[in-house]
Structure 1
Amino acid sequence: MKHIVAGVLAHVDAGKTTLSEAMLYQTGTVKTLGRVDNGDAFLDPDDLEKQRGITIFSHQANLTYQDLSLTLLDSPGHVDFAAQTEQILPVLDYAILVVSATDGVQGYTQTIWRLLDRYHVPTFIFVNKMDAIGADREAVVAQLQATLSAGCVPFDWASEIPDDLAETIALQDETILGDYLENGVLPEATIQTLIQQRKVFPCYFGSGLKMTGVEPLLAGLARWTIAAELEPDFGARVFKISHDEKGERLTWVRVTGGTLQTKAMVLPEQKANQLRVYNGGKATMVPALRAGEVGVVLGLTDTYPGQGLGIVKDSQSPLLQPALNYAVNLDGQDVHVVLAALRQLEDEDPQLHVTWSEQVQEIRVQIMGPIQLEVLQEQLRTRFELAVTFGEGSILYRETITQPIEGVGHFEPLRHYAEVHLLLEPAAPGSGVTIATDCSVDVLGANWQHQVVTSLTAKEHLGVLIGAPLTDVKLTLINGRASTVHSVGGDFREATWRAVRQGLMMLAQTDNTQLLEPWYQFQLTVPQANVGRAMNDIQRMSGTFATPLTVGTNARLEGTAPVSEMQEYARIVQTYTHGTGQLECIVDGYRPCHNAAAVIAEQQYQPKRDLDNTPDSVFCAHGAGYPVDWDQVPHAAHITYQPTR
């Protein structure tokens, strides 16, 4: 029997969970058809999900249709929980993207589409709510082809593929088109390959609520999917961390090769104490997880989403990052108890960043949006019996560089010695901080080079404009020097960190550092009478937008704007449209700050006074160490400084 793992993804309220419930009911996996609004959906078993009527956490279900064994992973649809959705993508064989026939392709739908492309996930599309008034099949297909891909093709034909659709499918690949025009034949295996290569996206139509179109979708998954090639050696990918009702830590994995047995050593000194397979909220203990299967491992403490086990490498860093920062108001709660609870929730969701300032005794959380903040507050109350509130939100800025520079760090107090030269270079947007080495072991020994790389990954490096985290920078070790007598590992940590900061200070001196801020991709729908007001507001907020689209009696504006300017705009839209307008926003990455000078002036950050991130170095003369200011370090360095490379 063919086995695949498929994720169900959608914009909120498109009917994603309703479709999942219909698929489970159609295949006999459940005996009654659950409803999200009734709080009895099979794939929304968490109390928070039942209360809010939305999917907050990803869940697993297992079903069988004909000769297809399908593991279904349901995912959140609200943009505030998009990080949970991104986590499951690396373990999917296929995705089912649900689009509402009445709402069409929404802003978040396009974000999901970009994520599916990033992780190379072949995708089936189910156009839901076709029973609703105003649903127009041809209009939706045209929009799918215009906004997502020309390869979005209806696949719900009865038996043989119609000639016009066969030609549309063949058009997605030049070689296949040539063969088709010559032979007039489009083999089934060829179509399967085009789908797997993300050149063709089969589209199905129906209503999950009315159980129409569900069986053709299941038949399409059985017919057009290809089972993943599985490795003989053990490998698995972690895609989720959670805790059960007893507090046991659960590591959710997709096994990609070999077999994972109970009591097997998975990580150094960490065994798989127990293995489970979940179906909705119900768990079954199993003796082993085989290649292709999804399950839960108990007994692991150091796992994280995206981690590769066995022969599998870690996934790339998540694209979606938090944009808002909130202080935790303890309201009489013990700070250490609250911090421990937040650390557990951070363990489950790595995109919930928790920071602790020892100096001001303050906890701050970094999140995606206000709904996530509400859920976080409720989790602290229900799971940990902690009643806390949150302060006013602020923007999470980042810093980058616009020119390469050689940074130098030297650490030589008495009986210590290390000098490190790093090349700092601008990198692609969204790439974070990447690390490389370009230094001969004849110049600096492999053990010392390892110390440099370890030091670069050991902390979050801060910029020198406002002290915001550094991003989109490549750090390359290009030179260094050790003492055969006095050098120890800690010396290279000090020299490495100082080299990063020294390079940033040099760039700031020539205005080649840059402040970044998060931007929203937005979709604003307002009555035609309000479109002028909306356009003026967006321009005032330093946003940009494309030509307005007419949607019935409304106008739709799509564009981008700074989060700092637009985060409260939804309330204003509701006021001037008398509740008829709708604003949808999702963080679309970081871009140059629209009011950088004002932000820098307000922050009043003084990098020289940030002693934990000093750019200065320490040299030694006459048996004593002495400090050297950052701008003099290149002249004092023991290795020749090369300002341009």
Structure 2
Amino acid sequence: MSKQAVVGILAHVDAGKTTLAEAMLFNAGRIRKRGRVDDGDSHLDTNEIERERGITIFSSQAVLDHGDTHVMLVDAPGHVDFSAEAERTLRALDYAILVVGANDGVQGHTETLWRLLARYGIPTFIFINKIDLENPGRDVLLAQLGQRLSEGCLDANELLAGGTVQEDAAALDEAALEEFLEAGELSVATLSRMVAERKLFPCFAGSALKDQGVDELLDGICALMREQAWLPEFAARVYRVSRGDRGERLAWVKVTGGTLHAKQMIGGRSGAEAWEQKIDQVRIYNGEKYELAQEVAAGGICAVTGLAHVRPGDALGAEPAGDAPVIAPVLTYTVLPGEHDVHAVFKALTELADEDPMLGVSWNTHLEQIHLQLMGAVQLEVVQQVLADRFGLSIAFEPGGILYKETISQPVEGVGHFEPLRHYAEVHLRLEPLPAGSGVQFGTVASTDELDLNWQRLALTNAMERDHLGVLTGSPITDVRITLTGGRAHAKHTEGGDFRQATYRAIRQGLMQAREVGAAVLLEPWYRFELEVPGECVGRALSDATRMGAEYEPPTMAGDRAKLVGRVPASEVQDYALEVAAYTSGRGHLYLEFAGYAACHDAERVIEAAAYEPEADLPNAPDSVFCSHGAGYTVKWYDVPAAAHVKVDSSTFRPWRAADAEFFGHM
């Protein structure tokens, strides 16, 4: 094979994505019989839950050879509840095939996937599937793709046959236009370059179920792919973590540089903790089956055993750290363990969260409850089934609520002091607001002359080892930079746990100060929405949008249909799709896409309903402990700055330094 590529297949639910993957594998001679999603025997839906439900939940892979190209095919989830898994899968792809149902056209989730493909720079082909069903026609569908996705969405058959559509392609690129004006056509090499640069998105059409257009798709994508250049030194990215048939932990990786070997030592970090482990097996999966390999060269994907610490999204070797994911859970559920030991349930859920970072699990010490954060009701049902099948745990959940977060709107200084008898640590931190979507960042400006580097590392390790809760509703904080500005240890009495206590209290004390001056902010998840309704229903749609606190543009009309676009609080739109179907007699459609966290539209009501008392949350105490006459005593958070032993001098500050691998002494 002269070329190889990892190709992902993505689509909105029911577009026929898995059916297309089966047809491609069958036509390439990799499988003898095409499986059916409906029959529960598809080659790539290997999980029992997937087969029962008839949907792809976990990404899976297979290999095929076509012409001179070796294709590693990855089938990504299509249901919106599992779009986080689909997003992680993108990090492993060289190319993508976006499947659009001819009978449905471009859906809201199609556009979500399109934006993710653009974010990660994945060259994309489009397959218009189910062309045998009733549809508006190929030209209309191509026009819709051009309007909703990109003007570079052009008929692939005409592009490759030198048809008139090549002139449209040439207009997308200056060099291509010069070539077209000189030669009267575009070479395959030029088309391949434009595909790789995401200027051109060749569109194929057919019926995967009836084997129409599948060979043309295989021929076309293999002709238009080109071999990539890879780093010479070892680099890889983890895009999935799962369990094998015997319960062994599998890390699915894309090798992006050098070569990955069986028995190779791999180093990395999990938060502030460094680790080094040896890869045991290297497996090349083809559906459920796999073959062992001694090595995988750059450009390949595989599953490895032996790495207990890696999580999806982790970078290995020379691979640079990636951006934070776009998709995030917006719902939180309280776990009802029933007759099971709550700690056993928490341990099982933590294991699942280790495989899926978008599955948030937290223990509320104050309420003695487990809280679970996830994407939606279908994912919740899958988690419930996995707990029963893998761990023998039959549990229930209280109705889901919105996952709120908290941040600050202006900088504050936090001070924590921990000095019971024969213990000592003091920590000073600066908390600053960051742009939306930044998460929590950690760093230091403290001079090592003022606080030894080892103590700085310990304080920041403690800061990074847990999620910190806000003081309005006890929700996790986000979009905050936490900077170590100073502190003190005692040559004789300081132990490691002392800095943990001082650091926790410093963060909490700073947040309490923010609340005191009105700088604590409650955030809620918002959706970007598109609401399409018949023209006679636009008044109802506008009224509903206003009632829900939505922000939107004036409606646009296309024929007898109206479209409303904007953003809306997730809390207000949970069951609205059912309302739309009812008042439009099934002719209206609501499309939702996670748009990030922003200020809560009804913060006062939410805060009042939460009735959270931050000073009563003892595991997150804002007060400090000082010592006098041989005994420890508590100082209230508002008096701590005056009682502190260290007076931070900003003239001694060093340039801000991130708490990264280099800071912790691991390059």
Output the TM-score relative to the length of structure 2.
0.89
Name the residue aligned to 2:99.
Answer: 98
Provide Cα deviations, 1:137-188, integer angstroms capped at 9, x if missing partner: 333333333333333333322645446534x444445576577768877554
Name the residue aligned to 1:639.
Answer: 647
Name the residue aligned to 1:379.
Answer: 386
Q: Letter of the aligned partner of 1:195 in structure 2?
A: V
Comparing 216-225 with 369-378, greater Cα deviation is found at 216-225
The structure 1 residue matched to 2:410, chosen from 403, 421, 430, is 403
Is 1:432 aligned with 2:439?
Answer: yes
Provide Cα deviations, 1:553-592, integer angstroms capped at 9, x if missing partner: 6544443222211112233334434455443434332121
Once the two structures are TM-superposed, the CA of residue 208 in structure 1 deviates from its matched residue by: 2.0
Contact 1:523 1:559 in 2 (8 A): yes
Structure 1: which 5+ residue stretches go unaligned?
none
User: Which structure 2 residues correspond to residues 590-601 of structure 1 after superposition, within 5 A?
Assistant: 590-601=597-608
Once the two structures are TM-superposed, the CA of residue 60 in structure 1 deviates from its matched residue by: 0.3
Cα gap change, 1:490 to 1:341, in 2 (>3 Å): closer
Partner-residue secondary structure (3-state), 1:602: helix
Contact 1:156 1:205 in 2 (8 A): no
Q: Letter of the aligned partner of 2:229 in structure 1?
A: E
Name the residue aligned to 2:117.
Answer: 116
Name the residue aligned to 2:134.
Answer: 133
Provide Cα deviations, 1:438-469, integer angstroms capped at 9, x if missing partner: 23323322212211221221110111111110
Structure 2 Cα separation of the partners of residues 478 and 174 of structure 1: 52
Once the two structures are TM-superposed, the CA of residue 8 in structure 1 deviates from its matched residue by: 0.8
Q: Letter of the aligned partner of 1:354 in structure 2?
A: V
Provide Cα deviations, 1:396-419, integer angstroms capped at 9, x if missing partner: 100011222232333344444433
Comparing 624-633 with 74-83, greater Cα deviation is found at 624-633
Cα gap change, 1:443 to 1:578, in 2 (>3 Å): same
User: Which structure 2 residues correspond to residues 194-593 of structure 1 after superposition, within 5 A?
Assistant: 194-267=194-267, 270-358=277-365, 360-548=367-555, 555-593=562-600
Once the two structures are TM-superposed, the CA of residue 471 in structure 1 deviates from its matched residue by: 0.5
Name the residue aligned to 2:59.
Answer: 58
Partner-residue secondary structure (3-state), 1:240: strand
Structure 2 Cα separation of the partners of residues 498 and 178 of structure 1: 65
Cα gap change, 1:172 to 1:498, in 2 (>3 Å): farther
Contact 1:356 1:362 in 2 (8 A): yes
Structure 2 Cα separation of the partners of residues 101 and 550 of structure 1: 23
Partner-residue secondary structure (3-state), 2:91: helix
Contact 2:154 2:165 in 1 (8 A): no
Contact 1:399 1:463 in 2 (8 A): yes
Q: Letter of the aligned partner of 2:473 in structure 1?
A: I
Contact 1:61 1:278 in 2 (8 A): yes
Q: Letter of the aligned partner of 1:11 in structure 2?
A: H
Once the two structures are TM-superposed, the CA of residue 56 in structure 1 deviates from its matched residue by: 1.1
Structure 1 Cα separation of the partners of residues 142 and 585 of structure 2: 32
Structure 1 Cα separation of the partners of residues 523 and 568 of structure 2: 13
Cα gap change, 1:317 to 1:395, in 2 (>3 Å): same
Q: Letter of the aligned partner of 1:639 in structure 2?
A: K
Partner-residue secondary structure (3-state), 2:158: coil
Partner-residue secondary structure (3-state), 2:353: helix
Structure 1 Cα separation of the partners of residues 635 and 183 of structure 2: 77
Structure 2 Cα separation of the partners of residues 231 and 255 of structure 1: 10
Contact 2:238 2:253 in 1 (8 A): yes
Q: Letter of the aligned partner of 2:118 in structure 1?
A: D
Identity rate, percent: 49
Comparing 258-267 with 346-355, greater Cα deviation is found at 258-267
Q: Letter of the aligned partner of 1:570 in structure 2?
A: A
Structure 1 Cα separation of the partners of residues 324 and 151 of structure 2: 29
Structure 2 Cα separation of the partners of residues 51 and 546 of structure 1: 42
Partner-residue secondary structure (3-state), 1:36: coil
Q: Letter of the aligned partner of 1:512 in structure 2?
A: A
Structure 2: which 5+ residue stretches go unaligned?
268-274, 654-667
Once the two structures are TM-superposed, the CA of residue 516 in structure 1 deviates from its matched residue by: 0.7
Q: Letter of the aligned partner of 1:249 in structure 2?
A: R
Structure 1 Cα separation of the partners of residues 362 and 413 of structure 2: 30
Partner-residue secondary structure (3-state), 2:352: helix
Partner-residue secondary structure (3-state), 2:450: coil
The structure 2 residue matched to 1:611, chosen from 594, 611, 618, is 618
Comparing 351-360 with 585-594, greater Cα deviation is found at 351-360
Once the two structures are TM-superposed, the CA of residue 283 in structure 1 deviates from its matched residue by: 2.0
Partner-residue secondary structure (3-state), 2:442: strand
Report the count of equivalent residues.
Answer: 643
Partner-residue secondary structure (3-state), 1:470: coil
Provide Cα deviations, 1:72-103, integer angstroms capped at 9, x if missing partner: 11011110011111111111111111122332
Partner-residue secondary structure (3-state), 1:300: coil
Structure 2 Cα separation of the partners of residues 498 and 13 of structure 1: 50
Provide Cα deviations, 1:470-513, integer angstroms capped at 9, x if missing partner: 01112222333444444443333223222222222222222222
Once the two structures are TM-superposed, the CA of residue 536 in structure 1 deviates from its matched residue by: 1.7
Structure 2 Cα separation of the partners of residues 296 and 207 of structure 1: 32
Name the residue aligned to 2:75.
Answer: 74
Structure 2 Cα separation of the partners of residues 297 and 473 of structure 1: 35
Is 1:33 aligned with 2:25?
Answer: no
Contact 2:366 2:618 in 1 (8 A): no
Contact 2:158 2:166 in 1 (8 A): no
Comparing 23-32 with 186-195, greater Cα deviation is found at 186-195
Cα gap change, 1:360 to 1:483, in 2 (>3 Å): closer
Cα gap change, 1:414 to 1:198, in 2 (>3 Å): farther
Comparing 432-441 with 338-347, greater Cα deviation is found at 338-347
Cα gap change, 1:614 to 1:293, in 2 (>3 Å): same
Structure 1 Cα separation of the partners of residues 430 and 170 of structure 2: 48
Name the residue aligned to 1:6.
Answer: 7
Partner-residue secondary structure (3-state), 1:157: helix
Partner-residue secondary structure (3-state), 1:491: helix
Contact 1:430 1:589 in 2 (8 A): yes
Structure 2 Cα separation of the partners of residues 291 and 544 of structure 1: 46
Partner-residue secondary structure (3-state), 2:157: coil
Cα gap change, 1:641 to 1:510, in 2 (>3 Å): farther
Output the TM-score relative to the length of structure 1.
0.91
Contact 2:125 2:201 in 1 (8 A): yes
Contact 2:262 2:295 in 1 (8 A): yes
Provide Cα deviations, 1:516-553, integer angstroms capped at 9, x if missing partner: 11122334444444333233222211123444455776
Comparing 567-576 with 171-180, greater Cα deviation is found at 171-180
Cα gap change, 1:173 to 1:511, in 2 (>3 Å): farther
Once the two structures are TM-superposed, the CA of residue 118 in structure 1 deviates from its matched residue by: 2.4
Once the two structures are TM-superposed, the CA of residue 384 in structure 1 deviates from its matched residue by: 3.4
Partner-residue secondary structure (3-state), 2:339: coil
Cα gap change, 1:452 to 1:183, in 2 (>3 Å): farther
